[in-house]
């Protein structure tokens, strides 16, 4: 082989390889940038969280629809099928875990370009309203520069998915029914995928084991100001323009049924009035537009105050999704300028009367002190310092082990009740 | 424009190559050179359009002064003054863009003042640009340059393969090649070797440097929670990252240079095989060491003025080298450490040579590693924290996140072939260990690219194709080169 041939071979072969890959990626198109899944290969397409920012925009581009849901993982259980049946429209769900208004804007912009939308369901989750999306966004799929598509058609991840789809499909052509696993994971809406991925345990203990910590400190007001600036900014940039420019589209804002713990924390840190005032402000600024309606589910009595419906402070059980769908249909939770004060007052009073059923490491407060005193009364070696620290955790675990409770180091309702009972008995014997 | 980007590889480079040789073929040599200059400026201003003014101004300034220096009939004093002025101007430009904010910060700190920081964008590779041109004007002062025309000079400074991260080229290495008649048509021997160099460089960047980069970014981002073993691996990772990152850039630059029939000087010669610090600096960033030796160390008197002056000169050179790398005290400390080590090995050469070779290597490698910690750290305190972590020598434990940085599909695939997937922590550890072992093998046992005698064979052709295709597919998340920032 001489040098000239070598160069010709290397450049030629590289070019051919790249071209072949490019063509395969365009034909199979695993993330639906150019067309919806080929009917024969449809079962092999997978919509995983890992690549959500790829296929969500593909879904926006190539699924004709009349209504969309944009939201975070808190919208996973708002079933697009159910909403579709209620409204008579074709609804597509675009919920992205850890989604924030800035990426909803990206989705909506593209969707408005391609569809005659009639309704937009928009998740309005106040605790995250001041944030921006933090994950990576393959921006080349979100602009209209066709040259940028080279990053899609010559992409390792895309090629990997394409190869997987092609091989699975070819495998089935030769040995049909060999892949039994496949049938168990049907390529359904995000809603289904996320349900299978997330922890399915919903209980107070699950909440207690999550990252949730109640701080006893009074929050300083600068965080409130920071929240107000950022949240308002987000609304101005990502929501108001859509409302203004699309007067013929109905915007249904959904304040999802996150647990009462969110408001309870604000009560504990003494900022509940500040935050609720901001929320009111924001809702009123949205309601100024005739094409907007807001449905608020944060004060759903019997649901948000029962932590058995949650796996952390915000993620609610599937039943919550049905409640929201039903609520939207009946319109019973609609917020109007007339009833907004009453609704927020209701929320606040629910939070104020809420009693947290568990105590865990990181908590501070009088209820912690009370429990520590009970433990001391029972002869456990514990400091009464109002702080649920490591030592307290170990003592609680010791107590649980002694009384054949599940050893978690978390003072669950059961543990606390037993403690209370025993320490009262104990006090009785001394008298 | 980055070398590892689609636009560079699929559009910019092919177009420039074809147009360059086509213009030469048509006999329009001047136009071919002009094209090279224009494309180089396009390459540079693609990062940021404002860079264009800076580079043009810098080229014009230096060319003008070199002309003045070369003009006949000037007295030695006049020439000295001219040289002084032009070097000062160069350093002023460099100082303004690179060190102004650092200067202000330290002024504020020292005098409790509160001068405002300016929002200055650091033009990529400005340090390389400045050094190369200083070398040129000094050569002009010495009367070593011939009277090059402006186009030649501008191409020499702006030649895009080496524009942003070197190697630092001297005029007599570059101009003759540019104007050589036989270099004006494709030379397939150079071209094929150039492709191989480029492919290997690209793969080194994407598949080795960027893997270590993940670990380093994580490690230096969470210094507080590192275990001893974590800190050690992070330290090692940076040592490898900076080598593979920088040398891969040089490989690509040399490869592209060869495609244009221009041989750029080598910049690396297996630095981590070094047996002493002086040896290390003969192998690491060779063109910088050459510059510092020729234009600072020797003019200062080198080693001709007694041992004390030699040591002082060495320290000066290393402190300048450290400061050249960036506006932060960490770089100065890094330079100081290397200077100190250099002085010490210079003083105790005999004792050092009596040591066993393996021990020499180990001590050198360990020292280089520790110095890199300060080079990378955001502050000197952070550097010390990492060293302290390592020295604490806790029970061996590695954070899961760090292990995950090294999950390479090939090795994980190998693991599943060996049916060890059931204990996944073990497999993760396997990834890390194999990756580090693989890197050590490359660094210590492989020959340098420039030492290999390249013969076109089917095997290395297929190898090159695989490297190119895999690299191009993996480019979607594009990362920058470390040395551009210096």
Q: Is A1 on the interface with B (CB under 8 A)?
A: yes
Instruction: Check CB contact under 8 Å for B473 and A6.
Output: no
Mean residue pLDDT across chain B = 85
Count of A–B CB contacts within 8 Å?
A: 63
Rounded to whole angstroms, the Cα distance separating A97 from A134 reads 11
The number of residues making up chain B comes to 486
Domain boundaries along the sequence of chain A: 3-197, 204-353, 366-430
Instruction: Check CB contact under 8 Å for A150 and B6.
Output: yes
* Chain B residues 174-203 within an 8 A CB cutoff of chain A: 188-189, 191-192, 195
Q: Is A157 on the interface with B (CB under 8 A)?
A: yes
pLDDT in tens, A41-80: 777 788 877 788 888 888 888 888 999 999 998 998 898 8
pLDDT in tens, B393-419: 777 777 777 777 777 766 666 666 665
pLDDT in tens, B52-70: 888 899 999 999 888 888 8
pLDDT in tens, B354-363: 888 889 899 9
Q: Measured between CB atoms, which of B464, B472, B477 is closest to A154?
A: B472
pLDDT reported for residue A49? 77
Chain B CB contacts of A151 under 8 Å are 6, 475-476
Residue in chain A closest to B476 (alpha carbons) equals A151
Mention every residue, 6+ apart, whose C-beta is less than 8 A from residue B143. Answer: B70
Rounded to whole angstroms, the Cα distance separating A118 from A27 reads 31
Q: Is A63 on the interface with B (CB under 8 A)?
A: no
Per DSSP, B305 falls in state S
Residue A179 pLDDT > 60, yes or no? no
Q: Is B114 on the interface with A (CB under 8 A)?
A: no
Structure tokens at A417: 């009740």
Q: Measured between CB atoms, which of A3, A21, A157 is closest to B192?
A: A3
Q: Is A159 on the interface with B (CB under 8 A)?
A: yes
Question: What distances in angstroms separate CA A423 from CA A149, A364, A404, A419, A429, one per listed residue?
Answer: 69, 21, 17, 6, 10
Residue in chain A closest to B457 (alpha carbons) equals A1
The pairs formed by A84-90 with CB atoms below 8 angstroms and a separation of 24 or more are A86/A325, A86/A328, A86/A329, A87/A119, A89/A118, A89/A119, A90/A64, A90/A65, A90/A66
- Averaged pLDDT for residues B340-350: 88
pLDDT in tens, A118-160: 999 999 999 999 999 888 888 888 887 888 888 888 888 888 8
Mention every residue, 6+ apart, whose C-beta is less than 8 A from residue B174. Answer: B156, B159, B262
pLDDT reported for residue A407? 83
* Chain B residues 226-255 within an 8 A CB cutoff of chain A: none
Could you list the beta-strand ranges (E) of A250-337: 250-255, 292-296, 334-335
Per CATH, which fold does A366-430 belong to? Answer: Muramoyl-pentapeptide Carboxypeptidase; domain 1 (1.10.101)
Which DSSP string do the residues of A174-196 spell out, in sequence order? HSTT---HHHHS----HHHHHHH
Residue A349 pLDDT > 70, yes or no? yes
Which residue out of A7, A22, A141 would a mutagenesis test of the B interface target, given it has the greatest number of B Cβ atoms within 10 Å? A7
Residue in chain B closest to A7 (alpha carbons) equals B192
Structure tokens at A236: 């101005």
Rounded to whole angstroms, the Cα distance separating B454 from B200 reads 13
Q: Is A2 on the interface with B (CB under 8 A)?
A: yes
Which DSSP string do the residues of B19-84 spell out, in sequence order? HHHHHHHTT-HHHHHHHHHHHHHHHHHTT-TTHHHHHHHHHHHHHHHHHHHHSTT--HHHHHHHHH
pLDDT in tens, B104-116: 888 888 887 777 7
Kindly state the percentage of chain A with pLDDT values over 90.
36
Residue with tokens 């191989």: B196
Residue in chain A closest to B470 (alpha carbons) equals A156
Say which of B325, B356, B419, B450 is annotated catalytic.
B325
Are the C-beta atoms of A283 and A335 separated by less than 8 Å? yes
Residue B473 pLDDT > 70, yes or no? yes
Chain A CB contacts of B195 under 8 Å are 7, 10-11
Q: Is A146 on the interface with B (CB under 8 A)?
A: no
Instruction: Give me the torsion for CA of B38, B43, B49, B53, rounded to 10°.
Output: -50
Residue of B174, B367, B328, B308 lying closest to B253 (CA atoms): B174
B42: confidence class by pLDDT, cuts 50, 70, 90 = very high
The mean-pLDDT minimum among A166-175, A244-253, B272-281 falls in A166-175
A199: confidence class by pLDDT, cuts 50, 70, 90 = low
pLDDT reported for residue A188? 36
Rounded to whole angstroms, the Cα distance separating B474 from B465 reads 14
pLDDT reported for residue B51? 84
pLDDT reported for residue A195? 36
pLDDT in tens, B148-175: 889 999 999 999 998 888 788 888 888 8
Q: Which ranges in A121-203 belong to alpha helices (H)?
A: 150-153, 156-174, 181-184, 190-197
Chain A nearest C-alpha distance from B215 (Å): 18
Q: What is the sign, positive or negative, of the torsion defined by CA atoms of B189, B191, B194, B200?
A: negative
Are the C-beta atoms of A114 and A103 separated by less than 8 Å? no
Domain boundaries along the sequence of chain B: 6-191, 196-485
Instruction: Check CB contact under 8 Å for A3 and B456.
Output: yes
Instruction: Check CB contact under 8 Å for B472 and A3.
Output: no
Helix/strand/coil percentages in chain A, nearest 5: 55, 10, 35
pLDDT in tens, A411-428: 888 899 898 888 877 665
pLDDT reported for residue A429? 56
pLDDT in tens, B439-461: 888 888 887 777 778 888 888 89
Chain A nearest C-alpha distance from B468 (Å): 7
Q: Count other C-beta atoms under 10 Å from residue A60's C-beta.
A: 26
Instruction: Check CB contact under 8 Å for A138 and B476.
Output: yes
Instruction: Check CB contact under 8 Å for A157 and B476.
Output: yes
Chain A nearest C-alpha distance from B71 (Å): 46
Structure tokens at A410: 């978390």
Q: Which residues of B426-442 are buried (b: 16+ CB within 10 A; e: fewer)?
A: ebbebbbebbbeebeeb
Rounded to whole angstroms, the Cα distance separating A292 from B33 reads 63
Chain A CB contacts of B191 under 8 Å are 3, 7
pLDDT in tens, A317-342: 888 999 999 999 998 899 999 999 99
- Averaged pLDDT for residues B454-474: 89
Rounded to whole angstroms, the Cα distance separating A326 from A254 reads 12
Query: CB-hemisphere CA count at 13 Å for B223?
Result: 17
Residue A403 pLDDT > 60, yes or no? yes
CA angle B155, B121, B474 (to 5 degrees): 75
The mean-pLDDT minimum among A99-103, A148-152, B142-146, B456-460 falls in B142-146
Residue of B364, B349, B345, B346 lying closest to B275 (CA atoms): B364
Q: Which ranges in B377-423 belong to alpha helices (H)?
A: 380-392, 400-405, 409-417
Maximum Cα interatomic distance, chain A, rounded to a whole number of Å? 104
Q: Is A14 on the interface with B (CB under 8 A)?
A: yes
Structure tokens at B408: 């390479």
Total-model pTM: 0.80
Question: What distances in angstroms separate CA B381 from CA A7, B111, B353, one per listed residue?
Answer: 51, 22, 34
Helix/strand/coil percentages in chain B, nearest 5: 75, 0, 25
Structure tokens at A305: 């105050």
Rounded to whole angstroms, the Cα distance separating A398 from A106 reads 52
Mean residue pLDDT across chain A = 85
pLDDT in tens, B205-226: 988 888 898 889 888 888 888 8
Chain B CB contacts of A4 under 8 Å are 188
Chain A nearest C-alpha distance from B373 (Å): 28
Q: Is A3 on the interface with B (CB under 8 A)?
A: yes
- Averaged pLDDT for residues A362-387: 88
Residue A406 pLDDT > 60, yes or no? yes
Q: Measured between CB atoms, which of B6, B464, B476 is closest to A10?
A: B464
Chain B CB contacts of A9 under 8 Å are 461, 465
Active site residue B325: yes
Structure tokens at A289: 């537009």
Q: Is B456 on the interface with A (CB under 8 A)?
A: yes
């Amino acid at each position: 082989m001489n040098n000239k041939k070598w160069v010709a071979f290397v450049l030629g072969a590289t070019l051919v390889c790249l071209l072949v890959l490019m063509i395969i990626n365009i034909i199979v198109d695993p993330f639906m940038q150019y067309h919806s899944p080929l009917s024969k290969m449809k079962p092999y397409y997978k919509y995983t969280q890992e690549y959500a920012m790829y296929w969500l925009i593909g879904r926006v581009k190539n699924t004709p629809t009349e209504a969309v849901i944009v939201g975070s993982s808190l919208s996973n259980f708002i079933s697009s099928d159910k909403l579709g049946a209620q409204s008579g429209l074709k609804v597509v769900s675009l919920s992205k875990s850890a989604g924030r208004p800035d990426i909803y804007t990206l989705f909506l912009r593209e969707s408005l370009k391609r569809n005659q939308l009639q309704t937009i369901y928009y998740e309005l989750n106040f605790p995250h309203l001041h944030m921006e999306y933090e994950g990576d966004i393959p921006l080349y799929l979100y602009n209209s520069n066709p040259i940028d598509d080279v990053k899609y058609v010559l992409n390792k991840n895309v090629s990997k998915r394409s190869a997987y789809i092609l091989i699975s499909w070819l495998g089935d052509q030769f040995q049909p029914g060999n892949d039994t696993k496949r049938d168990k994971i049907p390529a359904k809406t995000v809603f289904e995928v996320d349900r299978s991925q997330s922890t399915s345990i919903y209980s107070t203990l699950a909440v207690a084991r999550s990252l949730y910590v109640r701080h006893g400190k009074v929050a300083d007001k600068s965080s409130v100001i920071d929240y107000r600036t950022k949240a308002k900014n987000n609304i101005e940039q990502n929501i108001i323009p859509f409302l203004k420019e699309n007067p013929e589209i109905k915007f249904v804002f959904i304040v999802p049924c996150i647990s009462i713990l969110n408001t309870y924390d604000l009560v504990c840190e003494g900022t509940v009035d500040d935050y609720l005032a901001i929320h009111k402000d924001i809702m009123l600024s949205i309601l100024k537009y005739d094409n907007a309606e807001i449905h608020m589910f944060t004060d759903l009595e019997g649901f948000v105050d029962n932590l058995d419906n949650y796996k952390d402070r915000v993620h609610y059980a599937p039943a919550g999704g049905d409640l929201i769908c039903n609520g939207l249909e009946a319109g019973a939770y609609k917020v109007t300028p007339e009833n907004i004060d009453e609704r927020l007052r209701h929320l606040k009073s629910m939070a104020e009367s809420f009693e947290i059923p568990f105590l865990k490491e990181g908590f501070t407060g009088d209820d912690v002190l009370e429990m520590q005193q009970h433990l001391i009364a029972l002869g456990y070696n514990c400091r009464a310092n109002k702080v649920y620290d490591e030592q307290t955790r170990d003592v609680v675990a010791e107590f649980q082990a002694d009384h054949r409770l599940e050893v978690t180091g978390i003072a669950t309702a059961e543990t606390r009740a037993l403690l209370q009972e025993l320490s009262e008995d104990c006090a009785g014997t001394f008298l | 424009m980055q070398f590892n980007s689609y636009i560079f590889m699929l559009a910019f480079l092919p177009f420039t190559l074809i147009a360059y040789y086509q213009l030469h073929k048509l006999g329009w040599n001047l136009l071919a050179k002009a094209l090279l200059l224009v494309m180089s400026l396009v390459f540079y201003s693609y990062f940021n359009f404002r860079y264009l003014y800076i580079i043009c101004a810098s080229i014009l300034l230096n060319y003008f002064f070199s002309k003045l220096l070369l003009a006949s009939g000037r007295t030695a004093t006049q020439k000295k003054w001219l040289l002084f002025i032009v070097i000062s101007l160069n350093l002023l430009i460099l100082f303004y863009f690179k060190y102004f904010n650092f200067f202000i910060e330290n002024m504020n700190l020292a005098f409790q003042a509160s001068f405002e920081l300016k929002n200055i964008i650091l033009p990529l590779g400005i340090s390389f640009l400045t050094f190369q041109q200083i070398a040129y004007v000094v050569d002009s002062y010495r009367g070593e340059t011939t009277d090059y025309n402006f186009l030649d000079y501008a191409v020499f400074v702006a030649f895009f393969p080496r524009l942003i991260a070197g190697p630092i080229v001297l005029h007599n290495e570059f101009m003759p090649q540019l104007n050589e008649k036989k270099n004006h048509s494709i030379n397939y021997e150079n071209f094929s070797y150039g492709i191989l160099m480029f492919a290997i460089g690209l793969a080194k960047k994407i598949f080795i440097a960027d893997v270590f980069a993940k670990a380093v970014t994580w490690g230096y981002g969470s210094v507080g929670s590192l275990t001893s073993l974590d800190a050690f691996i992070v330290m090692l990772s940076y040592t490898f990252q900076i080598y593979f990152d920088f040398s891969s850039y040089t490989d690509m630059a040399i490869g592209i240079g060869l495609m244009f029939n221009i041989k750029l000087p080598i910049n690396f010669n297996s630095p981590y095989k070094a047996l002493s610090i002086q040896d290390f600096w003969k192998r690491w960033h060779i063109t910088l060491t050459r510059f510092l030796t020729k234009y600072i160390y020797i003019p200062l008197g080198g080693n001709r003025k007694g041992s004390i002056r030699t040591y002082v000169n060495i320290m000066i050179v290393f402190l300048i080298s450290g400061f050249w790398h960036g506006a932060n005290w960490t770089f100065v400390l890094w330079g100081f450490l290397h200077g100190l080590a250099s002085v010490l090995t210079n003083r105790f050469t005999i004792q050092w040579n009596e040591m066993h070779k393996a021990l020499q290597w180990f001590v050198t490698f360990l020292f280089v590693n520790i110095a890199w910690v300060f080079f990378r750290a955001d502050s000197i305190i952070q550097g010390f924290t990492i060293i302290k972590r390592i020295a604490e020598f806790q029970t061996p434990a590695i954070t899961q996140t760090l292990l995950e940085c090294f999950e390479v599909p090939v090795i994980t695939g190998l693991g599943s072939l060996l049916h060890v997937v059931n204990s996944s922590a073990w497999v993760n550890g396997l990834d890390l260990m194999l990756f580090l072992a693989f890197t050590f093998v490359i660094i210590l046992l492989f020959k340098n690219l420039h030492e290999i005698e390249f013969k076109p064979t089917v095997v290395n052709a297929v190898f090159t194709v695989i490297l190119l295709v895999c690299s191009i597919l993996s480019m979607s998340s594009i990362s920058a080169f470390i040395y551009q920032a210096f």
